[in-house]
Structure 1
């Protein structure tokens, strides 16, 4: 029997690449989009879901279970970016990103767990970020949301293990997707003390995304995890230096590591 997979944020970027790859491998794949009716000729099924709206989450999960009779894998991929000096970023915008990247992911997990517990099997893969392992200048809130999801994953995987359910997370580095277009950018204020450094970092962030890896690497990694009997707690997918930066944080004195980050971002 083909496994049934639900991918949040499946209309573009990493989610679309993962869904297309798994479909070709014989999985039954459902992706989600806030407005699937506007998306034509998609390579797999889309259902309406907004991770900040619990009613749409429950309706989407119910639709998948009604159609397929089960739900084997959740890829919690939906997310959004945010940039800006913390001092100048509206707190309401910060809350929106936490609601999407953290609480939205938690609400989707809550929605699928009863079915997985009933099946006595299931796999939840939370897509976090290598940025979640460190505070990055002008990306601190984004890093915080992804770091929080990493910690939540560590906790919930222990809570549900006795039900036959596995939970893990995958932290991607920079991939060539359209994430920058959906990111909230705090405006570059003309007389801001952060103006020059913030603008330089915006340019650098966009360059990193544009020159990022092919999202197919994430698809291949998630495929391998699905076919792993006992997944690890953490997976990282990205180029060597991005993954090595996490190792450096563990072994270097904190001020030395901070200096490396500041040099990298020309602070």
Structure 2
């Protein structure tokens, strides 16, 4: 279980999965630091959770040290912040490409690198990486987003191997389509009838259970594990099915 007084950091904490996770952790008695760029929205979440807000731009390499300085000793680090963009790769603005890689992949690596020495020294802690089914399925018109999420999965798995037996857990949460502002912010709305978006609160509950039960990987909804595993053993077939039904 997550003990009262646990010091948690949640990036992307101003809305969606991050805000829902912060609220759920606060109900568990955690002290929560929410991280993001929207000062007003962060302040609202911090007020609701009795936590603190850290306004930081995760594209800045110095942001990790800023977050850790404001957080203090971190027990649970939730790397949730993420950016999206939809369209053919050749049409993707260069600065947008850079931002996706910085926020979705480099920022979690920097934060984990900064938080790990303290966790290892104390012999306890938990890292959570919020990935995406796009990282498992290689979604067309989301090439860079899919690549960053696949990289995040690999980062988490490698770090898990390094931390074996050292008291620090690592979980990857793999959501499908979630009802959050993500699609509006990426500039292309989600218009498919299926799969239907799941509430952010459902992902947050799965995330917190993953920490409490030290689960390595959780898909939300759970049936997404099947296409992800199918692609691992039959990539050509899975790609053909995606083109047919995507």
Q: TM-score, normalised by structure 2?
A: 0.88
CA deviation string 1:98-156 (max 9, x = no partner): 11100011111112112212212110001110110021111111111000110111111
Q: What is the deviation of 1:206?
A: 4.1
Q: Do 2:34 and 2:42's aligned partners in 1 also have CA atoms closer than 8 Å?
A: no
The equivalences for 1:1-267 within 5 A come to 1-37=4-40, 39-42=42-45, 43-44=48-49, 45-65=52-72, 70-183=73-186, 185=187, 202=188, 205-207=190-192, 211-228=196-213, 230-232=214-216, 234-238=217-221, 240=223, 242-252=224-234, 254-265=235-246
- How far, CA to CA, are the matches of 2:56 and 2:89 in structure 1? 30
- What SS does the aligned partner of 1:227 have? helix
Q: Aligned residue pairs: how many? A: 239
Q: What is the deviation of 1:29?
A: 1.4
- How far, CA to CA, are the matches of 1:39 and 1:150 in structure 2? 27
Q: 1:90 to 1:160 in 2, by over 3 A?
A: same
Q: What is the deviation of 1:47?
A: 1.3
Q: 1:207 to 1:56 in 2, by over 3 A?
A: same
Larger radius of gyration: 1
Q: TM-score, normalised by structure 1?
A: 0.82
CA deviation string 1:195-250 (max 9, x = no partner): xxxxxxx56x344699401111111111212212x432x2211263x332213323
- How far, CA to CA, are the matches of 1:133 and 1:144 in structure 2? 9
CA deviation string 1:47-92 (max 9, x = no partner): 1222212323212211221xxxx32100000110011111222343
Q: Do 1:177 and 1:209's aligned partners in 2 also have CA atoms closer than 8 Å?
A: no
In structure 2, the gaps of 5 or more residues are: none
Q: 1:210 to 1:11 in 2, by over 3 A?
A: farther
Two-structure CA RMSD over aligned residues (Å): 2.1
